[in-house]
Amino acid sequence: MSITPLTSVSDTPPGVPSLDALETNVPSLMPPVVRENPRAHEDSCTFRHRMHQWHRKRVIAAFERIMAHESRVLAYLGCGSGAWVMYDPSEPGKFALRSDTCHDRWCPACGKQRAMVIRANLEPLLAGKTVRFITLTLKHDDDTLRHKLDRLHQHFSALRKLAIWTDHVDGGVAFLEVKKSDATGRWHPHYHIVSVGKFVKQEQLRDAWLAVTGDSHVVDIRVVKDTAQVAGYVTKYCTKPAPNELFRDDAGLDEAIIALKGRRLVTTFGCWRGTRLCKNDTLRDWVPLMPWPDLLKRCRMGDTEAIAIYKAITRDSWVADDTDVDDSRAPPF
Ligand SMILES: [Zn+2]
């Protein structure tokens, strides 16, 4: 699978788009959001986060409560700014936006982009292999999230040194997810693992996990039936590090943001160790066409070509830039 978050614009003629102003207006073709509110999405930050406003507001409020570093807050607030429309000179009719991005683990837009890149980079590693999902959890107790995350990391490292693991698991990637029980207020961090290798009995892996943790025996192993399952799995655990419930819990969200500081959310191991799953050069050879506000202006003038480009970009996932969205390295915050 290549990284193809873009869609052909069927009514755009081949070749580099000219975007010459048209003599006639075609209001009926105006994108509704522009027609109804000419100022809408003028700010490309708003456009980038149009599907994630609720999460974004919650995180910004949390940053304020925990007094997050100013540089982090500014990067978060500026994610999506300075957007340019880009086109692919080798494939006429394909468009994307490039902008500043924050790469913050609590940014759903960057998370969605990260998931897309990881999915694309995983596909060749999984081709022809039997893939298994493994979930490792710790026993429920009243321990702090910070301590639980320390333990989970240490125990997973210890497990990977045991013969039961090295004899059966060739390599893989582990995604860290944090949950908190509404009922008990207890933290439940998990590792969700995509792995390749041989069949391993659940009982054997459970016993090994109990041996290294001393108190935890819940291990889930599932064989993956098709690559769509992997795509869904990766999307689910890469887009954001916690489920929606945590974003409604101010104290919980604050604790999670602090406890995850500097921790890896994506860890490769075994024969995949060192694989750069977040490597992204999607827009490497793409060419800037015009600033985002200029495209909107042309849309408002009824420029059908600009409208077609707008629709393509709106329909498709955002590809922000061609720098790596690397989350395998622990960030400085
Ligand atoms: Zn972002």
Q: For 192-201, how does the pLDDT look when each residue is reduced to its tens digit (9 = 90+)? A: 999 999 999 9
Residue 221 has pLDDT above 80, yes or no: yes
Mean pLDDT of the chain: 81
The rounded Å distance from CA 298 to ligand 1 centre is 27
Ligand 1 centroid to 143 CA: how many Å?
31
Q: How far is the CA of 187 from the centre of ligand 1 (A)?
A: 26
What residue type is assigned to position 225 of the chain? K
User: 82 C-alpha to center of ligand 1: Å?
Assistant: 13
Q: What is the 56 CA–ligand 1 centroid distance (Å)?
A: 10
Among candidate residues 179, 149, 152, the one with its CA nearest the CA of residue 259: 149
Domain ranges of the chain: 128-270
Supply the pLDDT for residue 158.
Answer: 97
- pTM of the predicted protein model: 0.79
Give yes or no for residue 55 having a pLDDT over 90. yes
Cα separation, 238 vs 119, in Å, equals 10
- Please state the rounded mean pLDDT for residues 241-245: 89
Find the mean pLDDT for residues 40-66: 85
Give the position of tokens 């936006």. 97
Residues 6+ apart with CB under 8 A from 154: none
Q: What CATH code is assigned to 128-270?
A: 3.30.70.60
Q: How far is the CA of 189 from the centre of ligand 1 (A)?
A: 23
The pLDDT-based confidence of 52 (bands split at 50, 70, 90) is: confident
Least confident range from 42-51, 204-213, 253-262: namely 42-51
How far apart are the C-alpha atoms of 221 and 197, rounded to whole Å? 12
Return phi, psi of residue 95, to 5°.
-135, 155
How many whole angstroms separate alpha carbon 177 and alpha carbon 238?
Answer: 9
**Which residues, 6+ apart, have CB-to-CB distance to 226 below 8 Å?**
none
Residue 195 backbone phi and psi in degrees, to 5: -135, 160
The alpha carbon of 243 and the centre of ligand 1 are apart by a number of angstroms equal to 18
pLDDT at 32 over 70: no
C-alpha of residue 269 to centroid of ligand 1, in Å: 27
pLDDT value of position 100: 87
Centre of ligand 1 from the C-alpha of residue 259, in Å? 20
* Token digits of residue 282: 């999607």
Strand ranges for the chain from DSSP E: 84-87, 95-98, 131-137, 169-180, 187-197, 219-223, 266-270, 287-291
Distance (angstroms) between ligand 1 centre and the Cα of 49 equals: 8
Is residue 1 pLDDT above 80, yes or no?
Answer: no
Strands 95-98, 187-197: pairing kind: unpaired
pLDDT tier for residue 3 given thresholds of 50, 70 and 90? very low
How far apart are the C-alpha atoms of 324 and 333, rounded to whole Å?
Answer: 17
- Expressed in angstroms and rounded, the spacing between residue 263 Cα and the centre of ligand 1 is 18
Q: Residue 27: pLDDT band by 50, 70, 90 thresholds? A: very low
